[in-house]
Structure 1
Amino acid sequence: MIKDHSKHYNDLVHLIGELGEKIPDTIGGFNSLHKASTAEGVLTSKTKELIALGIAITVRCDGCIAFHVHDAIKAGASSEEIIETIGVAVMMGGGPALMYGCEALEALNQFIVLED
């Protein structure tokens, strides 16, 4: 199941930038929504990224998993918090979420290595 989540993340960043040149209002709007939605508030940015990761797993979005594992780590989430988030997503999404939870674990393992 080896997938290079860091490369996937970087490829998507590049492609989103390319789309931003072609449809700047749409991508700019999405980026503003993302920034506002994950900003510190009653919930911390870390908590919001963990929620986003749980949703990414249950809706089976590879790119979303790469982004939200990456961003959860940047927001200060520990490996243990990310793994517990995977567990909640599996409970909510069943067998398919378990498979994508494994993808999230693989992404975590890859990004942790890159952070060291």
Structure 2
Amino acid sequence: MEFISLDSHKGTGPSRRSDLESLGYCLLKWLCGILPWSDELDKVKAVVEQKERYRKNVRCLLQLCFRQRSIPDALESYLEQVMALEYEEKPDYAALRQLFGKPLEKMKASAYDSVDVRVVP
């Protein structure tokens, strides 16, 4: 419930957009420790309404999750591009991967390195 896409909530079949949207929610949870709807997982309608609202306003979603911390440009661009995709549209995977290239390079890491993912308390 916490990570599924809006399409999945609505019962549509799998799509590339849905997979990328779910990945975005996972990234947010790993980086911030919480999603705006984390405390309302027993209220399906409320979760869907929030995901619909934040799909239209990614910046607001990120501000809420990151609070006073700076928002990674790569993550913001990723979510904006993913949320703007049409249901059957094929994403530009190379462009999406490239968004994370510079941040990984800055960390002296690669997309293929093992990762120690710790959820922020």
- What is the TM-score when the length of structure 2 is the normalising length? 0.30
- TM-score, normalised by the number of residues in structure 1: 0.31
- The structure that is helix-richer by fraction is 1
